[in-house]
A and B are shown apart, each in its own frame.
Chain A
Amino acid sequence: DTAVSQTPKYLVTQMGNDKSIKCEQNLGHDTMYWYKQDSKKFLKIMFSYNNKELIINETVPNRFSPKSPDKAHLNLHINSLELGDSAVYFCASSQDPGTEYEQYFGPGTRLTVT
């Protein structure tokens, strides 16, 4: 069984479109995250949710809107896609938002905006 799963794995779309990425974890963790890895492979946090509540919101354009329907699911909706949004988006989860808890990553969603 996959611990942290994401759909879709690949997403190719045109500028201006709206798209969503979904994430699910079956680890029983309370905290979930969205990270973006750009073309230079630099991995940076975007959002974090703890028990459906947004706790970290980094400097991300408001075209990006996360939603957590329950603590096992975290979705990312992106409006008006731009070329610069092309990247790999990783979902991750941890038991607790405390600094000592390890984070486990999903397989990633490679988004290509043309």
Chain B
Amino acid sequence: QKEVEQNSGPLSVPEGAIASLNCTYSDRVSQSFFWYRQYSGKSPELIMSIYSNGDKEDGRFTAQLNKASQYVSLLIRDSQPSDSATYLCAVNKMGGEYGNKLVFGAGTILRVKS
């Protein structure tokens, strides 16, 4: 079982619709969860972080966390063509004696059609 799993997609949604991106993780003790957006040929850009169960909203983005189900999701409302990118789910876990490391999923490709 992969540590962080995402559906690779592509997920295609029409402009203005809600895009729903999902992620599951295997380590029950993980405490911090992040969503990064990566455009082709560019670096990962942090768009959301979530640490507690429930929803966290920031503009058109809502992150949802359910630690009991080991599940984190990202909703993008009013999707725009500019949202077309690969979305990376990352789970932060302790690495070695000290220090944290991000474990990334393989990413979900999102395509928003105008």
Instruction: Please report A residues at the B interface, Cβ cutoff 8 Å.
Output: 31, 33, 35, 40-45, 48, 50, 55-58, 90, 94, 97-108
Contacts and interface: CB of A to CB of B under 8 A. Distances in A.
B93 interface: yes
Given A48-B99, A55-B99, A42 B106 contact: yes
A65 to B, nearest CB: 17
Nearest to B31: A99
B104 interface: yes
A57 B96 CA distance: 8
A10 B45 CA distance: 20
A99 B97 contact: no
B106 A45 contact: no
A6 B67 CA distance: 36
B88 interface: yes
Contacts of A104: 46
B94 A99 contact: yes
A99 B92 contact: yes
Nearest to A55: B99
A98 B43 contact: no
B34 interface: yes
Given A99-B32, A99-B92, A56 B99 contact: yes
A75 B46 CA distance: 23
A56 B46 contact: no
Contact of B99 (A44, A97, A108): A97
